[in-house]
Structure 1
């Protein structure tokens, strides 16, 4: 995921989330999941 794509995601999440803190929480979870998938792909 490119930095620009992440920024777009952040903007969209901010609109749906009640607070920035909530948005950051969701984004962190998404990033952790993405990293886990990357690790699985590399291990395969």
Structure 2
């Protein structure tokens, strides 16, 4: 967690467990952003997870 403080990190993940400590999640489909989660709600809200 300390390594990513004050930095932008792009994580490409197929497992939602890797996304626990992120501020935002962007879901892409065919190169387009289809969903965005700001971390205010559980990631289960996203359709594709």
* Shorter-chain TM-score tier: under 0.3
Max radius of gyration: which structure? Answer: 1
> TM-score, normalised to structure 2's length?
0.23
Point out the structure with the larger strand share: 2
> TM-score, normalised to structure 1's length?
0.24
Point out the structure with the larger helix share: 1
